[in-house]
């Protein structure tokens, strides 16, 4: 084992001793308040649960020192030994590179220490993710192994399963893959056709089916596989339900196709995986029979937050490379860096990196609290924002390089190709926007049901109260949700931005109530409405994260905290005005709402399955 790997494992052992002394086993306590209610969900009610996100989560000095020491050998390896261009060109990660990753302990970052892993907190995992992100193919390989491949064993496995499988997965002796997607089921996971049939002796399930686009599919020894099984429900009716299984390649009947020829992340192994009469012991059911869909969603929901720190790590390096070019390349007797439109691009990249980094570490801090906090909405927000920002920022960086950026001699075109997948995997951004909106609307609906029913039934007092509140709102009432002032949690230099956040949150809550009253349960069919709801929430959580982080930076005197204030204020002002416009579009009679016209255009195009306008050179005679 390398020196770096020995250090990582020694540090892990030391953490285990401290954890035992502190009467805790798996999570470090962060200096934040105990979790009560989901922060993002409360925003749908027009309220800000301050204690959830203020102050910004911190780690103690001892853990911070460990994080920084972890970074040394990992960063050295990625800087000196990883040849990303070669990995991209040859379409695979060299075996010696994989072995080094294993010796560094990177295949077991979040595997608990008692099973041979490093047992990193979500915060430490996010920090290491910034360095690993310097190569996208390696990032995806490691993420597919532990964020989804083996994660089901950690969160749903029993003690026997954990003891049997996790040690060799943590060491990298075995590699894991997550098998959900099929030819006929992409985002619609419930429509999978792979089937597991219980044998007559009830000792095995016989697994048959095919999975596509499986990362690590050709490398993996252990697969988390989802298949339809028959169950008898409470009414004694036989139904098909999804069940999760731990499948070993050596069970037999497991084969894989050739690696896919992909646009980006070309060094990661992606292929079809086939199961033909594979005998899976009943002991290898993961979770409950018929409970596989929940297992799959819990696995996917738990890992999305880390995309924020990974993309931020990539963007920091991108800014560094691009700034060096802009400050030395001359045009019209001036450096590129002196031109306003180039400066605008750097401000955008810095802002996006700051926002996603703030959200990622805020969410990691929430996840690191004791218990089992539900941060699925926050994690989905981080994924959507970070993936779209990555695509935008890499494109802007390439634009700064001009023709050079388009050439394969430079890394920009590779980064652009690698970034495109981020909007697709771990849940497409379209599906995640529906998830973000629907989860929050359902939460608000459960709480507001009685009030909405009273309005529909003509309850006079409730109607009068509602009309009075809307009248006060129309007169531009002052909104105070406690972020500023004597008992405020936001630093005075960010007061204006905090006030904008409070106003947005308050009117978002009023709009949510109106939407639930207007659409009821049918709102799930209103995807353009749901998209706008999600976009507002993404901005609200982003604004909260940067205000919390910047306030902490000012109060403890971090270097360049004035730069953070600039970034936070710029973002909050822009997000505030975006939210105002989007809120106006959600009004039923808003002239800004073009949904029906947009639907009509789409229907006409799709009916003919072509662009239907006449050519501009056509004549009628």
For the residues 50-64, what does the mean pLDDT come to?
A: 92
Is pLDDT above 90 for 215?
Answer: yes
| pLDDT value for 467 | 57
Burial state string for 222-244 with b = 16 or more CB within 10 A and e = fewer than 16: bbbbbbbbeeeeeeeeeeebbbb
Q: Is the pLDDT of residue 362 over 60?
A: yes
**Residue 9: its pLDDT value, please?**
54
294-303, 325-334, 335-344, 437-446: which has the minimum mean pLDDT?
294-303
Using CA atoms, how far apart are residues 285 and 158, in angstroms rounded to an integer? 10
Please say whether the beta carbons of 178 and 150 come within 8 A: no
Contacts of 447 by beta carbon, 8 Å cutoff, 6+ apart: 45
Return the pLDDT at 70: 83
The pLDDT of residue 373 is: 79
Which positions ≥6 away from 595 have C-beta within 8 Å?
A: 528, 529
Is the pLDDT at 468 greater than 70, yes or no?
A: no
Task: Give the per-residue pLDDT at 265.
Answer: 97
> Quick check: 471 pLDDT over 90?
no
**Higher local confidence (pLDDT), 407 or 236:** 407
Separation of alpha carbons 423 and 433, rounded Å: 12
Report residue 22's pLDDT band, with 50, 70 and 90 as the boundaries: very low
What percent of the chain has a predicted confidence (pLDDT) above 70? 90
**Cβ(351)–Cβ(386) below 8 Å:** no
Q: What is the pLDDT of residue 456?
A: 65
Give the mean pLDDT of 528-547: 98
Tokens 């040849």 -> residue: 83
pLDDT at 4: 53
- Parallel, antiparallel, or unpaired for β 334-335 and 270-281? unpaired
Query: Among 337, 339, 347, 313, which residue's Cα sits nearest to residue 570?
Result: 347
CB atoms within 10 A of CB 283: 12
Q: Each residue of 78-128: pLDDT tens digit? A: 999 999 999 999 999 999 999 999 999 999 999 999 999 999 999 999 999
Over the chain, what is the mean pLDDT? 91
Q: What is the DSSP letter of 56?
A: P
Q: Decide: helix, strand or coil at residue 65.
A: helix
Residue 305 scores a pLDDT above 60: yes
Please write the tens of the pLDDT for every residue from 565-610: 999 999 999 999 999 999 999 998 889 999 999 999 999 999 999 9
Q: Name the residue with tokens 């690993």.
A: 132
Q: How big is the CA angle at 548 (ends 558 and 437), to the nearest 5 degrees?
A: 145
Nearest in space to 38 (alpha carbons), one of 370, 375, 447: 375
Classify residue 333 as exposed, middle or buried by CB count within 10 Å of its CB (0-12, 13-18, 19+). Answer: exposed
Mapping DSSP to helix (H, G, I), strand (E, B) and coil, where does residue 408 land? coil
| Residues carrying an active site annotation | 426
CA 496 to CA 484: how far, in whole Å?
A: 9
- Going by C-alpha positions, the residue among 482, 468, 464 that lies closest to residue 547 is 482
Among the ranges given (28-42, 273-287, 321-335, 477-491), the one the predictor scored with the smallest mean pLDDT: 28-42
Q: Is the pLDDT of residue 30 over 50?
A: no
Q: Are strands 222-232 and 176-179 parallel, antiparallel or unpaired?
A: parallel
Quote the CA–CA distance of 382 and 219 in Å, as a whole number.
29
- Helix and strand numbers, DSSP H then E, in the chain: 21, 10
Q: Answer whether 299's CB lies under 8 Å from 454's CB.
A: no
Q: Which residues contact 31 (CB under 8 A, 6 or more apart)?
A: 55, 57, 58, 60
d(CA 243, CA 226): 6
Which pairing describes strands 238-248 and 222-232: parallel, antiparallel, or unpaired? antiparallel
Please provide the size of the chain in residues. Answer: 621
pLDDT single digits (tens) 372-406: 778 999 999 999 999 999 999 999 999 999 999 99
Residue 621: the pLDDT is: 81
- pLDDT of 131-183, one tens digit each? 999 999 999 999 999 999 999 999 999 999 999 999 999 999 999 999 999 99
Q: What is the pLDDT of residues 506-524, one digit of tens each?
A: 999 999 999 999 999 899 9
Exposed e or buried b for every residue in 131-141, given b needs 16+ CB within 10 A? bbbbbbbbbbb
Percent of the chain with pLDDT over 90: 80
Query: Is the pLDDT at 312 greater than 70, yes or no?
Result: yes
* Cα–Cα separations (whole angstroms), residue 132 to 67, 139, 326, 348, 527: 14, 6, 26, 23, 36
> Please, which residues bridge with residue 207 across strands?
196, 278
3-state secondary structure of 271: strand
Whether residue 482 is predicted with pLDDT greater than 60 in this model: the reply is yes
Distance CA 389, CA 582 (A): 19
Question: How far, in Å, CA of 318 to CA of 448, rounded?
Answer: 46
* Gyration radius of the chain's alpha carbons: 26
pLDDT of residue 23: 33
d(C-alpha 132, C-alpha 311), whole Å: 10
327 burial class (0-12, 13-18, 19+ CB within 10 angstroms)? exposed
């Amino acid at each position: 084992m390398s020196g770096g790997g020995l250090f990582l494992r020694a540090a892990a052992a030391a953490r285990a001793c401290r954890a035992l002394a502190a009467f805790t086993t798996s999570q470090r306590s962060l200096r934040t308040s105990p979790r009560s209610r989901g922060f993002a969900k409360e925003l749908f009610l027009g309220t800000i649960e301050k204690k959830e996100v203020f102050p910004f989560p911190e780690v103690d000095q001892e853990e911070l020192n460990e994080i920084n020491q972890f970074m040394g050998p990992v960063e050295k390896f990625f800087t000196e030994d990883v040849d990303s261009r070669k990995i991209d060109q040859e379409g695979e990660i060299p075996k010696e590179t994989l072995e080094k990753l294993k010796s560094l302990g990177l295949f077991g970052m979040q595997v608990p220490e008692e099973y041979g892993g490093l047992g990193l907190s979500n915060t430490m995992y996010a920090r290491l993710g910034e360095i690993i992100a310097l190569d996208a193919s390696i990032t995806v390989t490691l993420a597919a192994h532990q964020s989804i491949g083996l994660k089901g064993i950690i969160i749903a496995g029993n003690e026997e399963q954990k003891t049997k499988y996790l040690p060799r997965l943590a060491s990298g002796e075995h590699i894991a893959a997550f098998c959900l997607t099929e030819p006929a089921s992409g985002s619609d996971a419930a429509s999978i056709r792979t089937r597991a049939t219980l044998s007559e002796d009830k000792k095995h399930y016989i697994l048959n089916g095919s999975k596509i686009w499986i990362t690590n599919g050709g490398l993996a020894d252990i697969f988390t596989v989802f298949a339809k099984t028959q169950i008898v429900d409470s009414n004694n009716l036989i139904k098909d339900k999804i069940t999760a299984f731990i499948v070993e390649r050596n069970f037999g009947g497991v084969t894989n196709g050739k690696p896919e020829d992909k646009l980006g992340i070309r060094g990661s192994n992606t292929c079809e995986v086939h199961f033909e009469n594979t005998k899976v012991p009943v002991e290898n059911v993961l979770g409950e029979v018929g409970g596989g869909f929940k297992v799959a969603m819990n696995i996917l929901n738990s890992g999305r937050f880390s995309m924020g720190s990974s993309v931020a790590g990539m963007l920091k390096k991108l800014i560094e490379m691009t700034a060096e070019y802009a400050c030395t390349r001359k045009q019209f007797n001036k450096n590129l860096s002196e031109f306003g439109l180039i400066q605008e691009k750097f401000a955008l990249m810095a802002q996006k990196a700051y926002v996603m980094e703030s959200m990622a570490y805020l969410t990691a801090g929430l996840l690191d609290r004791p218990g089992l906090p539900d941060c699925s909405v926050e994690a989905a927000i981080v994924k959507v924002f970070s993936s779209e920002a990555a695509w935008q920022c890499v494109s802007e960086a390439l634009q700064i390089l001009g023709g050079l950026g388009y050439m394969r001699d430079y890394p920009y075109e590779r980064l652009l190709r690698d970034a495109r997948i981020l909007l697709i995997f771990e849940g497409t951004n379209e599906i995640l926007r529906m998830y973000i909106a629907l989860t929050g609307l359902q939460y608000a609906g459960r709480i507001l049901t009685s009030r909405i029913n009273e309005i529909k039934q003509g309850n006079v007092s409730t109607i009068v109260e509602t009309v009075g509140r809307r009248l006060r709102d129309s007169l531009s009432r002052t909104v105070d949700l406690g972020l500023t002032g004597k008992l405020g949690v936001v630093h005075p230099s960010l007061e204006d931005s905090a006030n904008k956040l409070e106003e947005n949150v308050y009117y978002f809550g009023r709009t949510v109530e109106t939407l639930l009253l207007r659409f009821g349960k049918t709102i799930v069919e209103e995807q353009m409405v749901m998209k706008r709801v999600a976009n507002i929430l993404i901005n609200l959580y982003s604004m909260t994260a940067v205000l919390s982080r910047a306030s902490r930076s000012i109060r403890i005197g971090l270097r360049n905290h004035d730069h953070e204030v600039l970034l936070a204020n710029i973002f909050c002002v822009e997000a505030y005005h975006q939210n105002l416009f989007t809120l106006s579009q959600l009004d039923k009679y808003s002239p800004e709402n073009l949904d029906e016209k947009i639907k009509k255009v789409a229907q006409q195009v799709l009916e003919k399955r072509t662009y239907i306008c006449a050519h501009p050179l056509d004549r009628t005679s």
